[in-house]
Amino acid sequence: MKIFHAPEGRGPYGITATPNGDVYFVSLAGSYLASIDRKSGEARVIEPPTPDQGARRVWSDSRGRLWISEWNAGQVSVDDPHDGGWNSWRLPGDLPRTYAVYVDERDIVWLSDFGGNAVHAFDPQTDKFTTYPKSTENADVRQINGRRGEVWLLSGADRLVVIRTVSAK
């Protein structure tokens, strides 16, 4: 085991690897994205365009773009490491609080929203959100993962939830 210190001190919160093996993490306390040099362990900070956005989680899509849930800003952002381009979308509702992010095999971006007590599926091809209300009050989904045709949600309300995105044959 090797231990490396995070740049700018405390705050690493979410981590992902891209299809080509690059490793990135986000810092909630520092509100940044960082790439990790796998040989040296050194992390290079990448400043998002929204200051103090409160990055909680990060997930790579099939093209290696990095999708970031931004708690303080109530939005999802994407960074394309190939060209350094950023884009952001505010979640639907009055006071969104974006927590978890997961990108499925179709490159649909799934986001949990504490403020709206909902889960949103964002289609980057159409810039449209589809909203799924939570199954209970204060469901507080902190982690999302999945497998082909299924999105799994872990709720702080002692529930496991699955959304099937492809009908069984």
What is the distance between the alpha carbons of residues 88 and 91, in angstroms, rounded to a whole number? Answer: 10
95 secondary structure, DSSP code: S
CATH number belonging to domain 12-137: 2.130.10.10
Q: Token digits for 27? A: 């810092």
Strands 98-103, 12-17: pairing kind:
unpaired
Considering the entire predicted model, what is its pTM? 0.94
pLDDT of residue 168: 53
**What is the C-alpha radius of gyration for the chain, rounded to an integer number of angstroms?**
16
Burial class (CB in 10 A: 0-12, 13-18, 19+), 26: buried
Q: Per-residue confidence of the chain (169 residues) as pLDDT tens digits?
A: 888 888 887 789 999 999 999 999 999 999 999 999 988 989 999 999 999 999 999 999 999 999 999 999 999 999 999 998 999 999 999 999 999 999 999 999 999 999 999 999 999 999 999 999 877 788 889 999 999 999 999 987 788 899 999 865 5
What is the distance between the alpha carbons of residues 163 and 158, in angstroms, rounded to a whole number? Answer: 17
Distances (CA, A) of 161 to 87, 138, 143, 154: 29, 14, 11, 7
